Amino acid sequence: MKKHVFNAGPAILPEVAKEKTIDAIRDFAGTGISLLEVSHRSKDFQAVMDESTALFKELLGVPEGYAILWLGGGASTQFFSVPYNLLRTKAGYLDTDTWSAQAIKEAKLFGEVVVVASSKEGGYKFIPKDYVVPEGLDYFHITSNNTIAGTEIFAEPKTSAPLIADMSSNILSRPIDVSKYGLIYGGAQKNLAPAGVTFVIVREDLLGKVERAIPSMVDYRTHIAKGSLFNTPPVMCIFSALQALKWLKEMGGVKEMEKRNIAKANLIYNTIDNSRLFMGNVAKEDRSRMNATFSLKKEDKDLEKEFLDFAAAKGMVGVKGHRSVGGFRASIYNAMPIESVQALVDCMKEFEAAH
Amino acid sequence: MKKHVFNAGPAILPEVAKEKTIDAIRDFAGTGISLLEVSHRSKDFQAVMDESTALFKELLGVPEGYAILWLGGGASTQFFSVPYNLLRTKAGYLDTDTWSAQAIKEAKLFGEVVVVASSKEGGYKFIPKDYVVPEGLDYFHITSNNTIAGTEIFAEPKTSAPLIADMSSNILSRPIDVSKYGLIYGGAQKNLAPAGVTFVIVREDLLGKVERAIPSMVDYRTHIAKGSLFNTPPVMCIFSALQALKWLKEMGGVKEMEKRNIAKANLIYNTIDNSRLFMGNVAKEDRSRMNATFSLKKEDKDLEKEFLDFAAAKGMVGVKGHRSVGGFRASIYNAMPIESVQALVDCMKEFEAAH
């Protein structure tokens, strides 16, 4: 049976990225050596690093003055690396989900943190909008897409401070104006690559301004100077990321992705809005195009397990909502074809007809 | 042509580990989902984590009271994580290579560092032995195998402080008495797994004694509490590590590995010692069983490139010495069959006969 993988991350990858990864594990770039055994200092792997960086820059339209890093340790490592490198006295954070809350917690170890706005009281079911970012911040941090709640920030907040975004779960899903940001980071295992690699896009002139001593591995300048080869990088994940980037370019780039992602999101949210049984979890204008969260209407709550079993029997994987929210979640990242979303929607309609 | 991969890391893996990784990228554990897309919170991946940890403990004979962690970020992340978690006032380090020097550099950010002994003046060509570790240290740190110089520590130093070892490049190559150590860590990409995962073996009673605030990702207690699933781990690498551990057990465990590694090391070092052209780089009693470093004798130095080309033409990969040392290096980790060492030795003899 065909499986439709709606996992929130690690998540679905383009078929071609998986196939090329397998080919390279057998024979990397015609070297006769496995991708899993190749030296990260070989010229063939250097070519992978260079092409990944160039293509990432090209697809996102990264302007001059920014460096691209490929690191290990996940976005969670960036939660403390960002303040370690950039927080002198005071930073602002927007609190929109568990992940921003985690980023806030780590930043507090390094200086004063102003939570400029939060939707925590409302169960993170919307993106705060009517707030003013105070002056005098070292930076202002947002989580651009919230995988657990299922909300997304579509308009960059106004701030005079450098804007920093955790884009783990919506990077490359639509065009962004990178010049509006000081730093963008994310774990790649949602919209780009297998679990194990983290990307950082950083405006270089922001660095070197804190007084504290920074461990070499945490200091972005180390990795900029060494082209992400200060230590052994996650070789296979970077190779797979490159294959996904090539696929994305061939598909038409981030503009085409946005079109497809809007179509997929409309398909599932329209189904939800026209349903007797299901309802969306969050404010309509803040609905994520990457993670559609929904629930059964109150009177039908007892059908939750039944729907999950029904969906699983039809090949739907990862439709269960995050344990802190419950209900359902369909993560429909770039690599997800609309056919899989249609399969889920059909499944929802069939279930509804039977109840 | 058959390639013999003598890379220092990322390095050779057991054939079966690569094959099983490929199989799982196609279909992980019969789930119909790719290993690259499976959720790290699924029961099938939890089984991989549990089995990796249990087998690692079993093979190394890890006693009660120690936790095993599977993390991202490489050994370089441990260079600062160790002092972050354990350095209160003063730590001791043995300086035996570039990597210990790097560990020393990072530790200095967190407290006083006593370099108890160093072979730096001697070009790191031996392991210092006649030193006394002072009392009153929070811990004493060694690098058990030195990939660049090609030396190895075969006897644990005497110290009343907890002994900490970077075992990136000789973990599982022979039996060790884990109870003599407070903490053992290493990047797994040399003797265990593809690049991207790091192991930590830590005696739990050593933790929680420093005053400083530790970022969640750096705090070993975070990962112990969450079973290395605080954040998304490098899923594929951990799966591959498990396959290598299973292979190692099937081969007969670390005692059998030691026997094989001694035989491989003897084969190459005997060839070097009986050669007119080649000579070993380091003190005989400190020669690494994992990284055999050698050079041309002075009068033949100009043949260096010629030998590298000759070896490459016969399928030898990664025989060039580290750029800071020059000459040659053959990394002959656990997964390297003696047939490959024989192929290199034949190659050396053939070259010698022609000159």
A33–B5 C-beta distance less than 8 A: yes
Provide the residue range defining the domain that includes A316.
253-354
Q: Are residues B79 and B155 in the same domain?
A: yes
What DSSP assignment string belongs to B123-140?
TT-S---S--PPSS-S-E
Residues in chain B within 8 Å Cβ distance of A84? 215
Place of tokens 């040659």: B328
Place of tokens 């590694």: B261
Nearest to B97 by CA among B157, B156, B151, B167: B151
Residue B190 among the catalytic residues: yes
- pLDDT at residue number B239: 98
Distance from CA of B222 to the nearest CA of A (A): 12
Q: Could you tell me the pTM of the whole model?
A: 0.97
Number of domains chain B is built from: 2
Chain-centre distance for alpha carbon B14:
16
Give domain status of residue A231, yes or no. Answer: yes
Give domain status of residue B64, yes or no. Answer: yes
Q: Are residues A23 and A101 in the same domain?
A: yes
- pLDDT at residue number A301: 77
Q: Are residues A220 and A309 in the same domain?
A: no
Contact B22, B38 (CB under 8 A): no
Give domain status of residue B32, yes or no. Answer: yes
Q: Are residues A299 and A230 in the same domain?
A: no
Q: Are residues A323 and A310 in the same domain?
A: yes
- Both structure tokens of B335: 């997964």
Residuewise pLDDT in 10s, chain A (355 residues): 899 999 999 999 999 999 999 999 999 999 999 999 999 999 999 999 999 999 999 999 999 999 999 999 999 999 999 999 999 999 999 999 999 999 999 999 999 999 999 999 999 999 999 999 999 999 999 999 999 999 999 999 999 999 999 999 999 999 999 999 999 999 999 999 999 999 999 999 999 999 999 999 999 999 999 999 999 999 999 999 999 999 999 999 999 999 999 999 999 999 999 999 999 999 999 999 999 999 999 877 789 999 999 999 999 999 999 988 999 999 999 999 999 999 999 999 999 999 8
Residues in chain B within 8 Å Cβ distance of A234? 72, 195-196, 234, 237
Q: Are residues B233 and B109 in the same domain?
A: yes
Nearest to B246 by CA among B41, B28, B54, B22: B54
Domain boundary, last residue among B251, B272, B304: B251
Q: Are residues A284 and A336 in the same domain?
A: yes
Q: Are residues B202 and B335 in the same domain?
A: no
Among candidates A5, A18, A37 on the partner chain, residue whose Cβ is nearest the Cβ of B25: A18
Specify the DSSP element, H or E, that contains A315: none
Nearest to B141 by CA among B90, B191, B192, B190: B90
Give domain status of residue B5, yes or no. Answer: no
Q: Are residues A230 and A288 in the same domain?
A: no
Give domain status of residue A173, yes or no. Answer: yes
Domain boundary, last residue among A195, A216, A251: A251
B227-271: pLDDT as tens digits? 999 999 999 999 999 999 999 999 999 999 999 999 999 999 999
Give domain status of residue B218, yes or no. Answer: yes
Give the separation between CA B140 and CA B127, rounded to whole angstroms: 15
Distance from CA of B2 to the nearest CA of A (A): 8
Count residue pairs from A and B with Cβ separation < 8 A: 183
Distance from CA of B149 to the nearest CA of A (A): 18
Classify the complex by whether its ipTM is higher than 0.85, answering yes or no: yes
Give domain status of residue A6, yes or no. Answer: no
Residue B99 among the catalytic residues: yes
Domain boundary, last residue among B195, B222, B251: B251
A102–B215 C-beta distance less than 8 A: no
Q: Are residues A244 and A289 in the same domain?
A: no
Looking at chain B, which residue has its C-alpha nearest residue A193? Answer: B36
Give domain status of residue B86, yes or no. Answer: yes
- The CATH number covering residue B177 comes to 3.40.640.10
Q: Are residues B240 and B281 in the same domain?
A: no
Specify the DSSP element, H or E, that contains A59: helix A43-60
- The CATH number covering residue A294 comes to 3.90.1150.10
Contact A210, B247 (CB under 8 A): no
Q: Read off the amino acid at residue B81.
A: S
Q: Are residues A235 and A295 in the same domain?
A: no
